[in-house]
């Protein structure tokens, strides 16, 4: 058996081996790096891997650490954590609940709208789901909402931060696609390719994010029309109505100003994602100070939480770098390329296959795990087949949003289970998210069928 064939067999085995080890519960970064090095050793002993190629890991990782685009990651994380500590979510939920509560399904609609606003300002999925679970779920339970509808809309709305800009996921996807697209275009002889930026992906994800919000709200309205008992209206007192207008303005204006400052500067071409992230971080501190939530203790806690989350992400990048190098050097990329080219339907068939693979992996892996395992071995091939990088990045973002909702390892399910009262069963939560997973799959289908939903706005804004 030739060394090339042995390498390809080892590469494929390593891919499934990593998924198996991750399912056992081992840390992502160490699983990626450790399993890859184990297979690299086997490949070296069998003459299928050159260990000198691992020398590129240091320079590659340092390149990620000093990447100007990725500098925005800790800044956006800081902004999200600071806003979460300033209790903006609590005020929004309370106010929106009073605004829409007198309508059938009004509490559900308020959760969807607050989820969208928090996604555009904080983007912290865990904090959003927990906050809405603590505040909205008891109110929905008291109003005799169907537990499945209540838990489903909370979990789904809390995940909007993964697709509505500024999204940390989109930053990593955009940065990866930018490098991959440049390499693919140069390999084709195009030495002046069109640059793909994170701003392009932010603009491309804006309309699909609104589509998801509309789908969620439409489902709540549908339930209110067809099954009124599942989402009854609340009784709003005269005193609550009297101060409602002022309270809505106080709750909405600060986060809307921050969203316009951050996203408006990016979409308007005024600032890069990194520069806008710094504006967002400062704006979040100002909002916290205006609410009396900015103290030395709270700032220290926010900085520590930001450092912890950032370190976790960048350690995963290190493990992913090891995996990518070993997989490619053993010929795994050629196996994937042959597989995708052999599928019927050309580029569309390849897109459908990769999206189906990511959707299935979402049942057992985290979003970051899927990105750093699947994208390096499939995205370059798809780009070489002529797929638009912006379109591809937005589809991946919407598709991976389902990984937060699909059991058994959907993190939104765990977050809500941790704060839900005992009267809400785990089965209620799992059954409640099924319609919203279906709506997300519908959104992916719309993006595949109508690519302009993702590519029209970036062209309009940046070209």
pLDDT tens digits along 113-123? 888 888 877 66
Q: Which of 461, 386, 373, 374 is nearest to 197 (CA)?
A: 461
Report the pLDDT averaged over residues 131-135.
79
Which tokens in the block code for residue 438?
Answer: 């279906």
Report the pLDDT averaged over residues 201-206.
90
In the structure, what pLDDT confidence band is assigned to residue 124 with cuts at 50, 70 and 90?
low
Could you tell me the residue ranges of all domains in the chain? 68-462
Q: Give the pLDDT confidence of 44-72 residue by residue, as tens digits.
A: 888 888 888 887 777 777 777 777 777 88
CA separation for the pair 378, 393 (Å, rounded)? 12
In the structure, what pLDDT confidence band is assigned to residue 73 with cuts at 50, 70 and 90?
confident
Residue 450 buriedness (CB in 10 A; 0-12 / 13-18 / 19+): exposed
Single pTM value for the model: 0.86
φ, ψ at 169 (rounded to 5°): -60, -45
| Lowest model confidence (mean pLDDT) among 16-20, 33-37, 187-191, 411-415 | 187-191
Q: Give the pLDDT confidence of 412-443 residue by residue, as tens digits.
A: 888 888 878 888 888 888 888 999 999 999 99
Contact 363, 408 (CB under 8 A): yes
Contact 352, 345 (CB under 8 A): yes
CA separation for the pair 212, 72 (Å, rounded)? 25
Q: Three-state SS across the chain?
A: CCHHHHHHHHHHHHHHHHHHHHHCCCCHHHHHHHHHHHHHHHHHHCCCCCHHHHHHHHHHHHHHHCCCCCCHHHHHHHHHHHHHHCCHHHHHHHHHHHHHCCCCCHHHHHHHHHHHHHHHHCCCHHHHHHHHHHHHHHHHHHCCCCHHHHHHHHHHHHHHHHCCCCCHHHHHHHHHHHHHHHHHHHHCCCCCCCCCCHHHHHHHHHHHHHHHHHHHHHHHHHHHHHCHHHCCCCCCCHHHHHCHHHHHHHHHHHHHHHHHHHHHHHHCCCCCHHHHHHHHHHHHHHHHHHCCCCCHHHHHHHHHHHHHHHHHHHHHHHHHHHHHHHHHHCCHHHHHHHHHHHCCCHHHHHHHHHHHHHHHHCCCCCHHHHHHHHHHHHHHHHHHCCCCHHHHHHHHHHHHHHHHCCCCCCHHHHHHHHHCCCCCCHHHHHHHHHHHHHHHHHHHHHHHHCCHHHHHHHHHHHC
pLDDT at 161: 83
pLDDT at 192: 66
Q: Give the pLDDT confidence of 208-217 residue by residue, as tens digits.
A: 999 999 999 9
pLDDT of 395 above 90: yes
Contact 324, 60 (CB under 8 A): no
pLDDT at 325: 85
pLDDT at 54: 81
| Lowest model confidence (mean pLDDT) among 9-23, 28-42, 150-164, 243-257 | 243-257
Contact 326, 8 (CB under 8 A): no
């Amino acid at each position: 058996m030739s060394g090339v064939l042995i390498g390809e067999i080892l590469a494929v085995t390593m891919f499934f081996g990593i998924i198996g080890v991750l399912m056992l519960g081992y840390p992502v970064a160490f699983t990626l790096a450790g399993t890859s090095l184990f297979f690299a050793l086997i490949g070296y002993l069998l003459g299928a891997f050159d260990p000198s190629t691992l020398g590129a890991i240091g320079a590659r990782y340092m390149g990620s650490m000093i990447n100007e685009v990725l500098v925005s990651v800790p800044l956006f994380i800081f902004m999200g954590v600071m806003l979460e500590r300033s209790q903006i979510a609590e005020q929004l939920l309370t106010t929106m609940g009073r605004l829409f509560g007198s309508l059938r399904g009004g509490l559900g609609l308020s959760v969807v709208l607050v989820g969208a606003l928090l996604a555009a300002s904080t983007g912290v999925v865990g904090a959003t789901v927990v906050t809405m679970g603590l505040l909205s779920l008891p109110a929905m339970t008291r109003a005799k909402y169907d537990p499945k509808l209540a838990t489903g809309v909370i979990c789904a709305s809390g995940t909007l931060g993964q697709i509505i800009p500024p999204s940390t996921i989109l930053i990593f996807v955009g940065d990866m696609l930018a490098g991959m697209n440049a390499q693919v275009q140069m390999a084709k002889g195009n030495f002046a390719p069109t640059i793909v930026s994170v701003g392009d992906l932010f603009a491309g994800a804006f309309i699909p994010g609104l589509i998801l919000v509309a789908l969620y709200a439409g489902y709540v309205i549908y339930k209110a029309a067809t099954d009124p008992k599942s989402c009854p209206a609340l009784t709003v007192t005269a005193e609550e109505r009297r101060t409602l207008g002022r309270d809505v303005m106080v709750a909405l204006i600060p986060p809307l100003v921050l969203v316009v400052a951050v996203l408006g500067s990016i979409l308007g071409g005024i600032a890069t994602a990194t520069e806008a992230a710094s504006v967002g971080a400062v704006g979040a501190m100002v909002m916290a100070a205006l609410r009396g939530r900015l103290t030395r203790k709270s700032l220290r806690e926010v900085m520590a939480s930001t450092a912890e989350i950032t370190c976790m992400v960048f350690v995963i990048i290190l493990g992913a770098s090891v995996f990518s190098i070993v997989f490619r050097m053993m010929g795994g990329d050629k196996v994937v390329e042959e597989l995708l080219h052999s599928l019927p339907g050309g580029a569309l068939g390849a897109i459908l296959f990769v999206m189906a693979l990511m959707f299935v992996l979402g049942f057992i892996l985290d979003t970051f795990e899927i990105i750093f395992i699947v994208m390096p071995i499939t995205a370059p091939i798809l780009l070489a087949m002529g797929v638009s990088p912006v379109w591809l990045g937005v589809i991946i973002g919407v598709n991976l949003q389902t990984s937060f909702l699909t059991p058994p390892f959907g993190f939104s399910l765990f977050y809500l289970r941790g704060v839900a009262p005992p009267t809400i069963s785990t089965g209620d939560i799992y059954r409640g998210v099924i319609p919203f997973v279906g709506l997300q799959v519908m959104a992916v289908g719309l993006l595949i069928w109508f690519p302009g939903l993702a590519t029209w706005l970036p062209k309009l804004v940046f070209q």
